[in-house]
Amino acid sequence: MTVAAGIGYALIALGPALALFTALISTKPFLILTLVSSTLLWLITLIVLSALWRAFLPFQATQFGWSYFILILTCIVFQEAVRFLLWTAYRKLEHVLNDFADRVSKPRLYLTDKMQIALAGGLGHGLAHGVFFCLSLLTPAFGPATFYVQKCSQMPFFLVSAMIALAFVIIHTFSMVIAFKGFAEQNKVDQLFVPIVHLVAGMLTLVNLASGGCMIGIPMLYLVALATLIYCGKMVFRSLTEVQSSQGNSW
Amino acid sequence: MAQNPKPRSIIESLGEEIVRIITPVSICMFSVVILVSILNNSESSSASITSVATIAYSEDSSDSFWDKFEGALLNSLVFVAVVTVVTFILVLLFYLRCTSFLKYYMGFSAFLVLGFMGGEIGLFLNQYFSVPVDCVTFLLVLFNFTVVGVLAVFMSKMAIFVTQGYLVVIGMLVAYWFTLLPEWTTWMLLVAMSLYDLAAVLLPGGPLRLLVELAMARDEDIPALVYEARPVLASDLSPRENVIPRRLWREPRSGDSTLNENMTTRSNVVPNVNAVSRLESSQTVGSIVNAEEGQGSRGISELTAPLIEHRINVQMHLAQQAVETENLVLEGIGLGSSGAIKLGLGDFIFYSVLVGRAAMYDFMTVYACYLAIIAGLGITLVLLAFYQKALPALPVSVLLGVLFYLLTRLLLEVFVVQCSVNLIMF
């Protein structure tokens, strides 16, 4: 894979994340710190999961389908539990920040601030996924050839993984916003939406195990990402118009 | 979203100083990773250098596990011993008030690093990219570059951006040379230096602690190469003015020991500093500090203070053995007179060495170690604000980095590759 192609794949996976970063996060140092800590946290979850599963890897060919199913199930359950813990930590952080704002006579956290912090946290999750599942496999592969996977031979492996990574970046980023909003407002629908979407997305990648499965799996994954995006957009739009009309804080 | 301009929210300015110090650290690490991945592909990795760090044992890839381990341990012990001796000499010189000698030595070190090491790396890059440039031009450009660099770290009248840039370049060059050491030696060295740092700063007889106490008793600055972040002009948030200077002094040996100097020891000069935490506004402290230190000229003199270091001179004449003397960069995290964070160059160097070494294995370890180091840096800053006493800056980051390197290499990589290759992702 040439360097140009490698950069292309990296940008496919992380381009929108980079755009989000430059537009929203790079001007606010606190969000940069949130992003970095969030990425670190999700890296730690990945390490813990890999520690749990290390003894069972690599899988033998006979156990393929079921083992991956259990793997994904446990990983997603664990990550959702961590997301809830992240929410409780964020709650405490919000109190600290509001106290600090009072002390230095600045306005308390606006609604948009809270959503931006959630967005930065979600972007950290997406970034951790994109970097470790896609980007870190690109660099050893620079050189004269490329790599195709047997089961998905239409495109080079790197392109497929970049596309999947892009979908997951979108899902993770906006799920965090939805989840935080759901936890704040005690809205059951929102709270359940995120784990279900994560689970569905994870299971959809199981389709890639079948030969030629990625032709179906990836478009459906993008449908899920689109659904997350639209749901988040509607939710945010609704709450912003509510605030504007009522001048109150809804969080 | 509001029609009238609403006041700036706190998240727009909180954490700015931390970001301003993380950015150059990241740039330095990133450059070292790029250099390592470009240059170490083209030459064989067995071209290791003989230096102070390898006199006890020269690593050979055919040795057994225990041989390598013991050899690396021996190397690091020798290194730490040399560094200790040099730091004590440094303390002695400082005690005898030979500051101008130290100052000139620092300028000389900067000249050697930029001129010779920079020149060699420039030559490697020329070779690799086949840049069409002749000797005379190259020499001229290199000489000018070096001289401007020496002036930048020496004199205070330079634009701060130029000084910062040159400090990052110096850190990058020294770190690159350290990555040329054999693998086991490098890792043991990093761990040994962190432990040494811990001891030198916290134990009552530690050289760095003595140095800092001397400097504080005399109310002078320790001559060192420190990176000073651009001060945040806090128009609305004055917490920047809080001065809890912490200086992490590294030993001369590629930035060893870091010492956190607590400004509270300067309590005779600035009485209010103790009680002030980072996040609280203290206009009075700020003004006292500024008044006492002048228009930032004090900060600049800190910056240009002589660097006490061992120089690492690597002579790359293939005929001769490369002899290394270490370039010691005093490092430290502290707050300059204008309230900006100062970080010693040795920290830059050791972080970059860790990440550069991780880059020699795979980029996944690079990302993991990068996150670990930044987290360690953040934790150190928080601990400093919490404990308000001298704390070493290196141990947390380096030990976290080494831990994450091992975890990633042993656990995460297999897991992620297994999942990714089958296009299973979550």
| Whether pLDDT at B120 is above 70 | yes
Band (B64; pLDDT cuts 50, 70, 90):
confident
**B258 vs A132 pLDDT, higher one:** A132
Question: What is the DSSP secondary structure assignment for residue B10, as one 8-state letter?
Answer: G
Of residues B156 and B170, more confidence is placed in B170
User: Above pLDDT 90, what percent of chain A?
Assistant: 54
Of A40, A57, A137, the CB nearest to B414: A57
Q: Which of A10-14, A218-222, B303-307, B417-421 has the lowest mean pLDDT?
A: B303-307
Domain identity same for B281 and B378: no
pLDDT higher for B301 or B142?
B142
Q: Which of residues 9-68 of B touch A (CB under 8 A)?
A: 9-16, 18-19, 22, 37
Looking at per-residue pLDDT, the higher value among B98 and A10 belongs to A10
What is the pLDDT at residue B227?
80
Residue A103 in this model has a pLDDT that exceeds 70: yes
pLDDT at residue B288 is higher than 70: no
- Indicate if B321 and B341 belong to the same structural domain: no
pLDDT of residue B241: 35
Q: What is the pLDDT of residue A31?
A: 92
pLDDT of residue B70: 86
In terms of domains, do B207 and B143 share one? yes
User: How confident is the model over B247-276, as pLDDT tens digits?
Assistant: 443 333 333 333 333 332 333 333 332 332
* Nearest-angstrom CA–CA distance, A51 and B221: 47
List chain A residues with CB under 8 Å of B15: 29-30, 32-33
Burial of A80: CB neighbours in 10 Å, binned 0-12, 13-18, 19+: middle
Domain assignment present for B2:
no
Claim to verify: residue B267 and residue B147 sit in the same structural domain: no
A152 bridge partner residues: A149
Confidence band, pLDDT 50/70/90 cuts, at residue B211: confident
Identify the band that residue B200 occupies on the pLDDT scale cut at 50, 70 and 90. confident
Nearest C-alpha in A relative to B405: A47
Q: What is the mean pLDDT of residues B139-149?
A: 94
The distance of Cα B338 from the centroid of its chain, to the nearest Å, equals: 21
- Residue B320: predicted pLDDT: 26
Supply the pLDDT for residue B57: 67
What are the chain A neighbours of B419 within 8 Å (beta carbons)?
71, 133
Looking at residue B256, its pLDDT comes to: 32
Per-residue pLDDT reduced to its tens digit, A29-47: 899 999 999 999 999 999 9
Q: Is B107 helix (H, G, I), strand (E, B) or coil?
A: helix
Name which of B421, B325, B400 is nearest B358 in CA terms: B400
Does B240 map to a domain? no
Whether residue A126 is predicted with pLDDT greater than 60 in this model: the reply is yes
Amino acid at A50: S
Q: Is A54 on the interface with B (CB under 8 A)?
A: yes
Longest dimension (CA), chain A: 64
Q: How high is the pLDDT of residue A60?
A: 64
- Given B310, B326, B342, the domain boundary residue is B326
Q: How many domains does chain B contain in total?
A: 2
Q: What percent of chain B has pLDDT over 70?
A: 66
Q: What residue has token string 């470009």?
A: B38
Question: Is B362 marked active-site?
Answer: no
> What is the per-residue pLDDT for A32?
93
A36/B426 Cβ within 8 A: no
pLDDT at B96: 87
Give B-chain residues touching A161 at CB under 8 angstroms: 420, 423, 425
> Looking at beta carbons, which residues of chain B come within 8 Å of A197?
none
SS3 assignment, position B307: coil
**B374/A36 CB distance under 8 A:** yes
Chain B within 8 Å of A170 (Cβ-Cβ)?
no
- Asked whether residue B151 carries a pLDDT value surpassing 80, the answer given is yes
- Residue B263 shares a structural domain with residue B125: no
Residue of chain B whose alpha carbon sits nearest to that of A241: B1
Residues B9, A106: C-beta atoms closer than 8 Å: yes
| B242 located within any domain | no
Does B372 sit within 8 Å of A40, measured CB to CB? Answer: yes
Contact call for residues B423 and A208 (beta carbons, < 8 A): yes
Residue B6 belongs to some domain of the structure: no
Q: Which of residues 333-372 of B touch A (CB under 8 A)?
A: 362-364, 367-368, 371-372
- Model-level pTM? 0.81
Under DSSP, is residue B344 helix (H, G, I), strand (E, B) or coil? Answer: strand
Higher pLDDT, B106 or B372: B372
Range of the domain at B396: 13-233+331-421
Residue B293 within a domain: yes
Query: According to the model, what pLDDT value does residue B271 have?
Result: 30
**B9·A71 Cβ contact <8 A:** no
B401 and B265, same domain (yes or no): no
Reading phi first (left if > 0) and then psi (alpha if -120 to 50, else beta), residue B15 is in left
Q: Is B5 within the bounds of a domain?
A: no
Question: What's the confidence (pLDDT) of residue B264?
Answer: 28
pLDDT in tens, A147-176: 888 888 888 899 999 999 999 999 999 999
Q: pLDDT tier at B339 (50, 70, 90 boundaries)?
A: low
- What mean pLDDT, rounded, does chain B reach? 72
What confidence score (pLDDT) does residue B49 get? 61
State mean pLDDT over B18-28: 91
Predicted confidence at residue B273, as pLDDT, reads 29
- What is the model's pLDDT at position A208? 84
Q: Which of B308, B326, B344 is the last residue of a domain?
A: B326
Given a cut of 70, whether residue B61 has pLDDT beyond it is: no
Q: From B361, which residue of chain A is nearest by alpha-carbon distance?
A: A140
> ipTM score of the complex?
0.91
Sheet arrangement for strand B341-344: B226-228, B341-344, B333-335
A238, pLDDT greater than 80: yes
Tell me the C-alpha distance between B424 and A9, whole Å: 18
Q: Is B256 considered catalytic here?
A: no
Q: For Cα atoms B365, B191, B258, give the angle at the middle one, nearest 5 degrees.
A: 110
Within this chain, do residues B229 and B139 fall inside the same structural domain, yes or no?
Answer: yes
**Which of B304, B326, B348 delimits the end of a domain?**
B326
- Does residue B355 lie within any of the structural domains? yes
More confident call, B37 vs A248: B37
The amino acid that residue B401 corresponds to is G
Same domain (yes/no): B49, B196: yes
Instruction: Specify the pLDDT at position A2.
Output: 87
Q: Which residue has the higher pLDDT, B210 or B398?
A: B398
Say how far apart CA B258 and CA B251 lie, in whole Å.
Answer: 7
Q: Is the pLDDT of residue B2 over 60?
A: no
Q: Which of A241-245, B231-235, B283-287, B337-341 has the lowest mean pLDDT?
A: B283-287
Residue B245: inside a domain: no
B286 and B158, same domain (yes or no): no
Is B198 in the same domain as B270? no
- Average pLDDT on B310-327 reads 27
Q: Do A36 and B362 touch (CB under 8 A)?
A: no
- Between B282 and A118, the higher pLDDT residue: A118
Continuous segment of H or E residues that includes residue B228: strand B226-228
In this structure, which long-range contacts are made by residues B375-382, counting pairs with CB atoms below 8 Å and at least 24 apart in sequence? B375/A36, B375/A37, B375/A40, B375/B400, B376/B400, B376/B401, B377/B21, B377/B22, B377/B25, B378/A33, B378/A37, B378/B18, B380/B333, B381/B18, B381/B333
**A220 — contact with chain B (CB < 8 Å)?**
no
- Indicate whether B47 pLDDT > 70: no
A27 vs B contacts (CB less than 8 Å): 12
Q: What number is the average pLDDT over the span A193-202? A: 92
Shared domain check, B225 and B106: yes
Question: B266 and B344, same structural domain?
Answer: no
B279 contact residues in A (CB cutoff 8 A):
100
Among the ranges given (B8-22, B53-67, B89-103, B112-126), the one the predictor scored with the smallest mean pLDDT: B53-67
User: Which pair of tokens denotes residue B211?
Assistant: 């140095």
- The pLDDT score that the predictor gives to residue B232 is 65
More confidently predicted of B248 and A95: A95
Within its chain, how far is the Cα of A24 from the centroid? 17
Q: Please indicate whether residue A247 or residue A123 has the higher confidence score (pLDDT).
A: A123
CA B79 to chain centre: 18
Please tell me which residue, B69 or B143, carries the higher pLDDT value. Answer: B143
pLDDT band at B53 (very low <50, low <70, confident <90, very high): low
pLDDT at B12 over 50: yes
Three-class SS state of B408: helix
So what's the pLDDT on residue A229?
93
Helix (H, G, I), strand (E, B) or coil at B47: coil
Beta bridge partners of B226: B344
pLDDT tens across B395-416, in order? 999 999 999 999 999 999 888 8
